[in-house]
Amino acid sequence: MATTTTTMLVASHLSLLSRYRVPRNAAFWSPHHHHQKNKLNSWSISANSFDLSPPPIDHDFLDTVKTAGARVSEEGIVETFYNDDEALDAAENGVAVVDLSHFGRIRVSGEDRTQFLHNQTTANFECLQPGQGCDTAFVTPTARTIDIAHAWIMKNAITLVVSPETCRTITEMLNK
């Protein structure tokens, strides 16, 4: 059975990010310093074009990770590879790959998609260009958080990655 997966590269652990001044709406951020003549620090931000769909794979992803030693829940979520200390170290000091295949994906298209999401969420979508991404919050009219989403700006659409529990609610809210 062919499946596709969604993964998100995590540049650093959230507690590490809070110690640095992270550029707003950075798609991928690296805390490595680039020294200039005046010894000021700058930050690397880079992203590839996100106008791509993941290619189909010819095997079951969960079978592959089980073979690699993962514990998978009944819901099909990879829980651990039994190397949690190593994984936390990678998240804090390097790069970690996170399986988000069980998360909801919402594709928003149309000429007004940027303005529409700018008005529906907490992020400033109007300053983003294709290839960039950001985290954003969906909130109720009384400012209660519905969900935190990852947004990826593509040439012809914006892809939102949302929690599995709120995907239907957010989709219905956006379709009103």
CA distance 147 to 161: 10
Q: pLDDT by residue (tens digit) across 90-115?
A: 999 988 888 888 899 999 999 999 99
Domain residue limits, the chain:
7-99, 104-175
Which of 13-22, 131-140, 146-155 has the lowest average pLDDT? 13-22
CA distance 168 to 174: 10
Q: pLDDT by residue (tens digit) across 6-48?
A: 333 333 333 333 344 444 444 444 444 444 444 444 444 444 5
Q: What is the pTM for the complete model shown?
A: 0.61
CATH superfamily entry for domain 104-175: Aminomethyltransferase beta-barrel domains (3.30.70.1400)
CA distance 65 to 53: 21
In what helix (H) or strand (E) does residue 45 lie, and over which residues does it extend? strand 44-45
